[in-house]
Amino acid sequence: MGEPPMSVYEFVTIWRIAAPIASVWNEIYHSELWPTWWPGVESVVELEKGDELGVGSLRRYTWQSKLPYKLTFEMKTLRAEAPSLLEGVASGELEGRGLWQLSSQGGETIARYDWQVRTTKRWMNLLAPFARPVFSWNHNVVMSWGAQGLAKRLGVRVIEERED
């Protein structure tokens, strides 16, 4: 009996935060600090330093979700263009690509996160045909925690958060 096929997920999360783009960028860019404000992020460990912009850096992320499981994966930074673009490639228990795109509207920031990943855990791939809606719901919960945590850290409010 072979391995079940990896399940592919594509998520688009949009946060509209009542804060200047530089402040939002600073918090998202410095992911080593996420565990201090983003519930669900258990740890971020830098494995390799990148260049002066962080390109080439490698970090290991461990996430605890609403459901009783953890995910650990590494993320290598491919692009960092302050204050508007941060892109990385994931490997480990999740494999794929993540892209933050930030834009400014007045004093507000729109942060869009595109997350295209495949699961590599056998049990997740076996359950995917039935549990996909639950895994998607769980992702949305964790991202909502991020929006609320970021707003609290910056002392502002979330104007809008949605999944497209």
Tens of pLDDT along 143-160? 999 999 999 999 999 999
Q: Where are the domains positioned within the chain?
A: 8-163
Q: Which fold has domain 8-163?
A: Alpha-D-Glucose-1,6-Bisphosphate; Chain A, domain 4 (3.30.530)
Distance CA 50, CA 48 (A): 6
* Token pair belonging to 39: 């519930």
pLDDT of 148 reads: 98
pLDDT of 1 reads: 58
* Token pair belonging to 132: 């996909």
- 15: which residues sit within 8 A by CB, 6+ positions away? 109, 110, 111, 112, 113, 146, 147, 150, 158, 160, 161
pLDDT of 131 reads: 87
Q: Which residues of the chain have pLDDT under 50?
A: none
